[in-house]
């Protein structure tokens, strides 16, 4: 089947390029949209996982004044470090939700769940390994990890209630 493709927008109108690349229900298929979302979510998951395992600034290489080898150097700036941890965890958790949602009922969905759960455990253990014990505030990180799932669940409940 031949699909209708919009012609390229005129080069003299910058906003036209923005509109041209936006999702268009009449032009873009759901499978194309799913594939784009999977690529984006996977990229976000990879970047945030890597940032959590290797925090910005690296880790101390030795035991010294108020720090231990293997702890994040960035943790010495407590507030900034927690903004980083919470934001990074929120991004990772949201991207994992998108990946799992978009692969629901696909072949190997169970294996995707197992791999995802393993990645979450690895991320959590890395976060706790590089965070000084006195700074570990598990509740902040758990809330950040759970927010995307809670919001999605609330949205689904509201949709079901509205459809009744």
The per-residue pLDDT for range 56-96, each reduced to its tens digit, is 999 999 998 888 999 999 988 988 998 999 999 999 999 99
The per-residue pLDDT for range 13-59, each reduced to its tens digit, is 556 777 777 888 888 888 888 999 999 999 999 999 999 999 999 99
The per-residue pLDDT for range 91-114, each reduced to its tens digit, is 999 999 999 999 999 999 999 999
Q: What angle do CA 117, 121, 53 make, to 5 degrees?
A: 120
Q: How many domains does the chain have?
A: 1
Q: Is residue 140 part of a domain?
A: yes
Q: Please state, rounded to an integer, the average pLDDT across all residues of the chain.
A: 87
Q: With b meaning 16 or more CB within 10 Å and e meaning fewer, what string describes 104-136?
A: eeeeeeeebeeebeebbeebbebbeebbbeeee
Q: Which domain holds residue 137?
A: 43-50+67-163
How deeply is 85 buried, as exposed, middle or buried, from its count of CB atoms within 10 A (0-12, 13-18, 19+)?
A: buried
- Stretch 138-164: mean pLDDT: 90
Q: Angle between the 30-53 and 109-130 helix axes, to the nearest 10 degrees?
A: 30
Q: Is residue 96 part of a domain?
A: yes
- Stretch 149-153: mean pLDDT: 93
Q: Is residue 17 part of a domain?
A: no
Q: How far apart are CA 163 and CA 102, in angstroms?
A: 23
- Is residue 8 scored above 80 in pLDDT? no
Q: Is residue 28 part of a domain?
A: no
pTM score above 0.75: yes
Q: Is residue 113 part of a domain?
A: yes
Q: Is residue 121 part of a domain?
A: yes
Q: How far apart are CA 133 and CA 85, in angstroms?
A: 15
Q: Is residue 114 part of a domain?
A: yes
Note whether 99 and 41 are within 8 A (CB).
Answer: yes
**Confidence tier at 156 by pLDDT (50, 70, 90):** very high
What pLDDT, on a 0 to 100 scale, did the predictor assign at position 138? Answer: 73
What pLDDT, on a 0 to 100 scale, did the predictor assign at position 7? Answer: 61
Q: How far is CA 63 from CA 39, 54, 67, 87, in A?
A: 41, 18, 6, 28
- Stretch 110-136: mean pLDDT: 87
- Is residue 142 scored above 90 in pLDDT? no
Q: Is residue 56 part of a domain?
A: no
């Amino acid at each position: 089947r031949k699909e209708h493709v919009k012609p390229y927008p005129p080069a003299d109108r910058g906003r036209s390029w923005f509109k041209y690349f936006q999702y268009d229900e009449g032009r873009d298929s759901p499978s194309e949209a799913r594939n784009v979302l999977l690529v984006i979510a996977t990229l976000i998951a990879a970047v945030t996982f890597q940032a959590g395992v290797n925090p910005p600034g690296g880790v101390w290489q030795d035991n010294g004044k108020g720090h231990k080898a293997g702890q994040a150097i960035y943790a010495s700036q407590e507030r900034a470090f927690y903004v980083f941890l919470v934001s990074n965890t929120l991004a990772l958790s949201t991207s994992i939700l998108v990946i799992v949602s978009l692969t629901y009922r696909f072949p190997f969905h169970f294996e995707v769940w197992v791999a995802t759960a393993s990645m979450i455990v690895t991320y959590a253990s890395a976060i706790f390994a590089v965070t000084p014990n006195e700074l570990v505030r598990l509740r902040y990180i758990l809330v950040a990890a759970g927010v995307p799932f809670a919001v999605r669940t609330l949205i689904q409940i509201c949709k079901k209630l509205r459809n009744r």
